[in-house]
Structure 1
Amino acid sequence: MSTVTATLARPRPRTLAVVRRTAWSAGALFWSAFAVLEAVNHGWLAGTLVLTFFVLPDLTFLVALDEAPRMAKGQLPPRAVPYYNAMHRALVPLALMALYTVGPITAPALFAALCGWLAHISYDRAFGYGLRTKEGFQRG
Structure 2
Amino acid sequence: METPAVGVTGGLRILLRLEGLALLAAMAAVYAWQGTSWWLFAALFFTPDLSFAGYLLGSRPGAIIYNAVHTTVVPGVLLGIGLVLGQPLAVALAVIWLAHIGFDRALGYGLKQPDGFGFTHLGRIGRVAI
User: Normalized against structure 2, the TM-score is what?
Assistant: 0.69
What is the aligned length? 112
Aligned to 1:7: none
Say if 1:52 and 1:113, in contact at 8 Å, map to a contact too. Answer: no
- Per-residue CA deviations over 1:28-59 (Å, capped at 9, x if unaligned) read 11112322443xx245xx842x3344212101
Say if 1:77 and 1:136, in contact at 8 Å, map to a contact too. Answer: yes
Structure richer in helix, relative to its length: 1
Aligned to 2:50: 59
Aligned to 1:8: none
Where do 5+ consecutive residues of structure 1 fail to align?
Answer: 1-12, 68-75
CA distance in 2, matches of 1:53, 1:117: 8
The farther-off stretch of 123-132 and 91-100 is 91-100
CA distance in 2, matches of 1:88, 1:127: 14
Identity %: 30
| 1:23 equivalenced with 2:19 (yes/no) | yes
Which of these residues, 110, 120, 128, is aligned with residue 139 of structure 1?
120
| 1:83 equivalenced with 2:65 (yes/no) | yes
CA distance in 2, matches of 1:78, 1:20: 24
Measured after TM superposition, the shift of residue 20 of structure 1 is 2.2
Where do 5+ consecutive residues of structure 2 fail to align?
Answer: 1-8, 122-130
CA distance in 1, matches of 2:68, 2:16: 21
Q: Which has the larger radius of gyration?
A: 1
Say if 1:53 and 1:114, in contact at 8 Å, map to a contact too. Answer: no
| Aligned residues: CA RMSD | 2.4
